[in-house]
Amino acid sequence: MSLTLLAILVVVILTLGYTLYGQLVARQYALDDSRTTPAVQKNDGVDFVPTKRFFLLGQHFSAIAAAGPIAGPILACQLFGWGPCILWIALGVVFIGAVHDFSALVASVRHHARSIAEIVKDNLGRRAWLAIMAFIWIALVYLIIAFADITAATFVGKTEELAGAAPFNKGGAVAFASTTYLALAIVMGLIQRKWDPPLWLMTVVFVPATLLAVWLGTKVSTLLILPQTSWAVVIMVYCFIASLLPMWILLQPRGYLGGFVLYMALAVGVIGIFFGGFEIRQPVSTGAPLAGLSGSMLPFLFVTIACGACSGFHGLVCSGTTSKQIAKESDCKPVGYGGMLLEGFVALIALATIMIVTPEVSKGAAPGRVYGDGIASFLTVILGKDAFLFAATFGAMAFSTFVFDTLDVATRLGRYIIQELSDAHGWTAAIVATAVTAAVPALVLVTAGPGAYRAFWTLFGTSNQLLAALTLLGVTVWLQRAGRRYWFTLAPMLFMMVVTLWSLLGQIVQYGRAISAAAPGTPLVPQISNLAVAALLFALAAFLIVEAARAVSRPRLVPPAAGLPAA
């Protein structure tokens, strides 16, 4: 099968999924535009702002599209081949991932735009709230560890002597382009704050300036050369500072510019896949064991691909910011369900970037480099092969752009959780909570060394997918206690709960064996930390399942949730 035909088939599945299954799920929630949403009811011009669905979809998509749907499919293809990956991305995103995002968004809107943790508190109780808050913080820390190290890997690379040109270091070029991009976002934020020029003017100035930063990176590629571990520390310092800054200085302008980079990368991917004439050069399957507790396709395919098919982090975005901007309930489907299908398309493009190279070339390669080189190959279809240095830098910078948006948002969310659990507020409390959230990943990255993301990725993916299962658990309890239909959230919740708990058990066994078999003096930081965290996550999930069982045994909600069809 050709790459183009395969991509067309996936697009057809996603389209039918939105049109048919998405509409079926929407009917279960009985979306009603006559019901006032929290954004309209409160409309404070700061947090609660009714937003048109087209603009909200773009903002929401930029917030959820990070490194997960890029790195996950590439790593999974290296382990299992492209066949199982394409099946899980296409079917998983329609029946599980999009249902999760859609349900989290609707549940938040129906709960006055409150967070997933608060929805769990309302329906399962305070003890369950404490457990899921702890779970979310741990999941965020693992997200930061995996994404920071995988980004640092894109900032290093050997210097090549090019005929008739200055030495070129792709890692240095990406590092310069990425840091310049962040500086441009800060300048844009300051100008917007002081003079408030028209948005179109800011766009025509700063979007081309972002591309100029990529070109400059190819000219000064040897300026920013640091070891990977040093870059990981620098990134964590950035996370600490960025998560304390007012959102108008960095987060908002960076998200706006990053959206253009995201859409350009998507456009390049579409052109490359459909018009580049590239052949599939990866095997359909690597012959990995079908099921087991170590290195098997089941359950590790699902947690390796992670955000490409389902992501618990999306529930935090849906219930944290997006639900406060829904102008009418019918917008929940295109924004929640449709946004996740777009993420599935990002995963398809990422998978294509490794499918077009041989296993010998891709074996052991960092996902950021595979994606960057793949996007570069697609971009040369437009610009020609003479522009490969620019194309390669743009591709890798696009990857790091997705990650930066997630890294400091995750650090900021971690700070909020610590402050809420400790009931500590004020500037000092914010600094301490941020320092704790950033220091733990920094310590792990320094002690684990370069390439640590491979040791932590599976547990990150598991925690992320298990968070999605717990979110669906909370929504299912809400629907059940209201006496409403809940099969469409119960089924994906059970599936994700089984595969993630299975994965945790496998990792506990795997790390326990590695620790017991290690020779004296062997560094065991990843194994020990992963073993402890896997056991803790399993215990927290089990506790939440018990609390859910207790909740459904209690009398149902009176009055029942308004507007939901009867069971």
Q: Do residues 254 and 404 touch, judged by C-beta distance below 8 A?
A: yes
Q: How high does pLDDT run on average in the chain?
A: 90
- Asked if 383 contacts 211 with a C-beta cutoff of 8 angstroms, the reply is no
Q: What is the pLDDT of residue 62?
A: 79
CB atoms within 10 A of CB 5: 9
Residue 469, pLDDT above cutoff 60: yes
Q: Is the pLDDT of residue 565 over 60?
A: no
Give the domain ranges of the chain. Answer: 3-405+450-553
Cα 248 to Cα 158, 208, 242, 493, 533: the distances in Å are 37, 21, 11, 37, 35
Share of the chain above pLDDT 90, in %: 62
Nearest to 463 by CA among 65, 141, 67: 141
Tell me the whole-structure pTM to 2 decimals.
0.91
Is the confidence at residue 556, as pLDDT, over 80?
no
- The yes/no answer on whether domain 3-405+450-553 falls in CATH 1.10.1790 is no
Q: How many CB atoms lie within 10 A of CB 546?
A: 14
- Residue bearing the bigger pLDDT, 526 or 348: 348
- Predicted confidence (pLDDT) per residue in 46-79, tens digit: 678 898 888 888 878 878 887 789 999 999 999 9
pLDDT, position 567: 44
pLDDT for 161: 58
pLDDT tens digits, one per residue of 148-174: 988 898 898 777 755 455 688 888 999
For residues 210 and 215, give the distance between their C-alpha atoms in angstroms, rounded to a whole number. Answer: 9
- pLDDT tens track for 373-384: 899 999 999 988
Give the model's pLDDT for residue 554. 84
Q: Is 197 helix (H, G, I), strand (E, B) or coil?
A: coil
Q: Which amino acid belongs to residue 137?
A: W
| Residue range 533-550: mean pLDDT, rounded | 96
- In the predicted model, is pLDDT for residue 203 greater than 90? yes
Q: How many CB atoms lie within 10 A of CB 290?
A: 10
Binning pLDDT at 50, 70 and 90, where does residue 207 land? very high
Residue 12 has pLDDT above 60, yes or no: yes
Give the burial string for 131-145 (b: 16+ CB within 10 Å, else e): bbbbbbbbbbbbbbb
